[in-house]
Structure 1
Amino acid sequence: MDTADVAPTPPMGWNSYDSFSWNVTEAHVKANADHMAAHLKHYGWQYIVVDWAWYYPGSGTESPNQDAALNPRLHLDANGRMLPDPIRFPCSSGTNGLKPLADYVHSLGLRFGIHLMRGIPRQAVTDNVPILGTSYRAAEIANDTTAAWLNLMWGLDMAHPGAQAYLDSLFELYASWGVDFVKVDDIAAPTYRESEVDGYRLAIRRSGRPMVLSLSPGPTPLASGEHVAANANMWRVVNDLWDNWADVDALFDKLRDWTPYRTMNSWPDPDMIPIGRLSQQGPVGPPRYSNLTPDEQRTLMTLWCITRSPLMWGGDLVENRASELALMTNAAVLAVNQRSTNNRELHGGPSCVWTADVPGTNDKYVALFNRGSSMANVSCTLPEKQALVTDLWSGADLGTANGTFTRTLPPHASGLYRLTPSR
C-alpha cells in the first residue's frame, strides 16, 4: 500500500502539539476524539494525531532531550522501536503499544496518527541493538545528523540496507497498532532529506496499511517541490505557526508559490491551526485562547480553505467555545477546502484575491483579503458580466454584482463568496 491514494482531499483533524506539547496523555487524546466524534465528524474532521515524544518519560515544559548519559531512558523495544510512555498512556501496558488507543479512536469512526522524529534513537545506537529480521545492528545504520531542537535521534544512512530494514520494522509495528497518519519531523527543513523521505514512503508501502505521510518542519525548499509532491501527502511550507498576525500574513506568498504542486494526495501544509485553547502545558507562551482577533481567525480559515490546505486544528477541542466551533463547522466554507479546483491567486499584495472553480458548474469561489492595517476596498473583476453573490460564512444572499465585485473590509479581515453567473 502506497501514499498515492490516502489523501484525495486535504486531511482534516486535530494535532496535540499546540495544546499540550509533549505532555499529551491518553486521557487528553480520548477527550479530543470524543469531541470530534460528537461535534465535528459530520463535517469531515477525522484525524486524531499524537504529536512528539510519546515515548519520553514524565512531563515538563522544557524540550524532551536526553543528557550526555542518555537519561532519561526512552521507552524502546529490543529492536530500537519507540514504545509509549506507560504513565501517560496506561493502555500501552505489556506489549499493547498504542493499539488500544488507536482502537478507541477507530471505534468512534475516526482515524489515528502519530509523530516520529527522523532516524533512529541515539539510545538504540549506543546500545547497538539488532535490527529486526536482519544481521545488522543499530550502530551500522546511523549517521551523525540530528535535529537542532531535539537530541533523541541520529539520522539514517540510507545507503546501508539496514536503514531501510529499520524503517520497515517501525512501520510493521505501527501498522499493527492501526496507525493511519504519520508526521515525520526534522526531514523537510532545515535540510530536505530526500533519501529518507523515500525510505519512509517505501516503509509505508511495505507495511501493507494505508497511512498519510506528513513532513515537517518547514520551510520545505521549493526546489524540492517535484520530489516532495510525488512522495508525501503533506509538507510544511513554513516553520511552526503560532497565533500572531505577522506569521499568518507571511503565508499568503508561501501558499501562492506552492500552487504548481497542489494536487490530489499532495497538499502544501501551512501548519496546525493556532485557534482555540493553546499551550496549556507548553510549548510556546502561557495557557491562553488564541491571540488572533476574530477577523484574523476567519481570515486564516478562509486562506486555508481557498488554498486547499490541510486543516489540522491545534487548539484543545474540549475547550472550544461557540466561536471556534462555528469556524470548524461551516459546511459551505469547508466545501471550498475539500472540493474546489483550480485554486489560484488573482491579485497579491495588501488587497489580495484568490479564486477557485466549483466543480460541475460555471460558478466561482472568490476570497477577498485585506492584509493591510486600515479599512480597504477589495475588488475582483467578474468572469461573467453579472453574477449572483452568496456570502459563504454567513449564508447571506448579497444580490447581483455587475462587472466587478467589491467589499469594504476591516484590517486583517476577509470574505469568502460563491459567484453564480446570472446571464
Structure 2
Amino acid sequence: MKNLKPLLAAGLLAATLPGHAQKAAPKTDFHQWAPTPPRGWNSWDCYGPTVTEAEVKANADYMAKNLKSSGWEYVVVDIRWYVGNDTAHGYNEKNPDWNIDEYGRFVPAPNRFPSAAGGKGFKPLADYLHGKGLKFGIHIMRGVPVVAVQRRLPILGTKLTAADIYSKEGQARWLRDMYTVKEGPGAQEYYDSLFKLYASWGLDFVKVDDLSEPYHKPEVAMIRRAIDKTGRKIVFSTSPGETPIAEAKHVAANANMWRTVGDFWDSWEQLKEHFEVCERWAPHIQPGAFPDADMLPLGRLGIRAERGNDRMTRFTRDEQTTLMTLWSIFRSPLMFGGDLPSNDAFTLGLLTNPRVLAVNRSSTHNRQLFRRGDLVAWTADDPATGDKFLALFNAQDQELAPANAAAWASGPLNRQTPSQAADIDITGATKLYLNVRDGGDGTAWDHADWLNPTLSNADGKTLPLNSLPWRSATAGWGQATVGKSVSGAPLLVVGQTAETGIGTHANSIIEYDLPAGYTRFRTTLGLDQAAARQNTGGTIGGLLFTTSPYRPAPADSVRVPVALRELGLPAGARVQDLWTGRQLGPVTGEFAPYVRRHGARLYRISKPK
C-alpha cells in the first residue's frame, strides 16, 4: 500500500471540505447535466491502459485550441490509471502495481500522473482541464477491488470492510481486478465513498465498465444514488454493450449514456452492424439519456492500445464519413479515440463541421426511413425550422462467394464445437485464401486461429504456410498475426497451445501466392480461448479457397432514391448538402443522389419558400 498517510489525509480532508459532506439526492434531474450528446476525447483507442498525464494534457491542449469552439469538452482517462506498471496491447495481470487508499479506493499511479503524488489524486489534472474550459472524466470498473477484499480494507463511515460486501458472482472474465458489490449493509456506503472522493477531485464524467452486458441493475442504481449524493454534476456512462433493450427504461432513468455494442474498432464489418443496432435503439433517444454507439476510432490509433499497432485509422475516407454521419443522425455521444495532436486536416474537418454537428446536437425524431438491401436512409427533424435532415448510406459490399464454391468449409464453430481439421487438394493452384466468416450472430468475440497450416508435396516434403509472406490479410477486429492470436496471446484452442499458426478475427481473408509443386494443404481452424471463455458471441465459420472468394464488385456509386412524400414534403423542396454546405436547388417528386460504396451523404431539405 503506497503513500498511505498522505492518501488517507487527503481523503479525510476532502470529506470535511465545504461541499463534500454527504448530501441527499439533489432535486435537479441529472438529465439536465447533458441535455445534448456529450462530446470529448477518450484515451483508450490510442493508449490503452498506459496513458500518462503528459499525453492527457497534450490531447487536452489540442482540444482547447481546435475543438472546444465546436462543442468538444470532455477529456476522459480510460482504464487502469491506478496501475503503475500496466502493459501496452493487453493488461498486466501477473504483478500489477496497485495504487489504493485506506478505504479500498483506487488512486492514480503517481509515476504516470506525477501531479497526483502526495495524495492529491486527480484534482491537479482536473484543475488543469477546468482552467482551459474543459471537463474531466475517468473510466472505472464496476465493483470493489479484489485487492481491497484481500486486505479487508475498511469502508469509509462504517465498521465494515470490503470483504463484507463482495461477491465473486458476475466477475468480469476479461479483467479480474474487481468483485461484484452485492446488495446489503456497506454496499451503498462503498459507492458513496468512491464518488465522494471523485467529487473532491472535480470529476465531471465517469465511464463505468463491465456494467451494461450483462446488465448489473443493482449496481447501476447504487452508482446513480452515489453520484446524486455528492451534489456534483457527474455525467454517468455505462459500458460495454449491448445493454439489454429490455432494460432501456431503467438505464435511461439512471444514466446519461449507455453502450449499444461491444468495443468498436476501425472495422467496416463492425460499422455495418451499427445500422441494425442504431435502428433498434433510436426510439430510446431522449434529452440527457443517449444510446451510445461507442467511440470514434478515427485519426491515429493503436500507439499503445489493446488492439493493433500504431496506425492511422483503417477506415477509408468514405467509411469515416459514414461513421460521422450515422453517429450524428442517431445522436450518439461523440467520443474521439485517436491521438488528437496527430490529426490531419481531413480528420479535423470531420470533427468540426458545424452543419453536421448541429444534427447531432439538436435534431429530433431520429429514425431509419428505409433499408433496401444495403441502401439505407435515415431522417430527423430540425425543431427550430421544421426542416428535414436526410442521411443516405451505401453499405454495399463486394459479395463473397457462397460456401459451396470453397475447397473446404468447416461448418459452424462455437464453444460446443470449437475446432475442425482441413485437408484439401491444391494441385495446380497458384492461390490460397483463408477465409473466416462470422457465425450468424455478429462478430463479437469471433477470435479464430489457423493452427499448424502446412503445405506438402507428393514426396512428403512439407512447408509451413507461416514461413511465406501473405499477399494481403484482413481482420474484422485487430489484425491478423503470425504465431499469436489476434489478441496477442499464444494460439490456444481447447486448452492446447499450437506452436505455429495465424490468429485472426471474423470477418477475415488472408491471401497467399502458392509456390509450385505442392499438392496438399492441411490445417485446423479453431475458436481461440479468448473467445471461448466469454459469455457472448464467439461463433465462426471457416472456408478455404484456391480461387478468388469474391464475386464481381458492385458499382462504385449508386443512386439512392427518396420520394419527397416519404419525408412529408411538397414538390419544390430546397436541398443543402451538409458536408459541403452547397445549395443543390429545388427538387420535384424524387431526390436520388449518387452515394459511393461504403459512403454517406447528409442533407437538409426545406419546404419551398
TM-score normalised by L of structure 1: 0.97
| 1:360 positional shift | 2.3
Give the share of equivalent positions with the same residue, in percent: 50
Which deviates more from structure 2 when the two are superposed, residues 375-384 or residues 211-220?
375-384
5 Å-filtered alignment, 1:133-282, equals: 133-144=157-168, 145-158=170-183, 160-189=184-213, 191-282=214-305
User: Is residue 27 of structure 1 aligned with residue 51 of structure 2?
Assistant: no
Asked if the contact 2:86–2:96 (Cα under 8 Å) also holds between the matched residues in 1, the reply is no
Verify: 1:91 aligned to 2:91, yes or no: no
Amino acid at match of 2:254: N
CA positional deviation for 1:65: 4.5
Shift of the alpha carbon at 1:386? 2.1
Regions of 4+ moved over 4 Å: none
Corresponding residue SS for 1:77: coil
Q: Classify the secondary structure of the residue corresponding to 1:114.
A: strand
Q: What are the Cα deviations for residues 192-238 of structure 1, in whole angstroms up to 9, with x where unaligned?
A: 00110001111000011011100011111111111111111111101
CA distance in 1, matches of 2:598, 2:590: 22
CA distance in 2, matches of 1:194, 1:384: 47
> Which structure features the higher share of helix residues?
1
Displacement of 1:62 in angstroms is: 4.8
> Out of 392, 398, 404, which is 2:584 matched to?
398
Higher RCO, Cα 8 Å, sep 6+: 1
Instruction: Give runs of aligned pairs for residues 331-346 of structure 1, distance below 5 A.
Output: 331-346=354-369
Match of 1:379 among 561, 571, 584: 561
Deviations 1:367-399 (A, max 9, x none): 011111333211222122221110000011111
Deviation by residue 1:269-302 (Cα, 9 ceiling, x = unmatched): 1111000000101211111000000000001000
Q: CA separation of 1:301/1:233 partners in 2, compared to 1, >3 Å: closer, same or farther?
A: same
1:9 and 2:43 correspond: no
Partner of 2:597: 411
User: Which residue in the other structure is 2:574 paired with?
Assistant: 388
Give unmatched runs, 5+ long, in structure 2: 1-25, 398-553
1:40 is matched with 67
Contact 1:65-1:150 within 8 A present in 2 as well: no
**94, 113, 129: which one aligns with 1:105:** 129
> For residues 381 and 33 of structure 1, do their structure 2 counterparts lie closer, same or farther at Cα, with a shift above 3 Å needed?
same
1:350 equivalent among 352, 369, 374: 374
Q: Say whether the 8 Å CA contact 2:319–2:599 is kept in structure 1.
A: yes
2:79 to 52, 68, 82: 52
**Structure 1: how far apart are the matches of 2:331 and 2:151?**
45
TM score, norm. by length of structure 2: 0.68
Deviation at 1:73, TM superposition (A): 3.8
Amino acid in structure 2 at the alignment position of 1:182: V
RMSD of aligned residue pairs (Cα, Å) = 1.1
CA offsets, 1:295-345, max 9 Å, x none? 000010000001101000001101000010000010011000001111111
In structure 2, give the amino acid aligned to 1:276. Answer: G
**Aligned partner of residue 365 in structure 2, secondary structure:** strand
Q: Partner letter of residue 381 of structure 1?
A: A
Structure 1 CA distance for aligned equivalents of residues 185 and 228 of structure 2: 17
SS at match of 2:154: coil
What secondary structure does 2:167 align onto? coil
Which of 300, 305, 318 in structure 1 is aligned with 2:341?
318
- Tell me the matched-pair count: 418
Aligned partner (choices 108, 114, 129) of residue 153 of structure 2: 129
Residue 72 of structure 1: CA displacement? 2.5
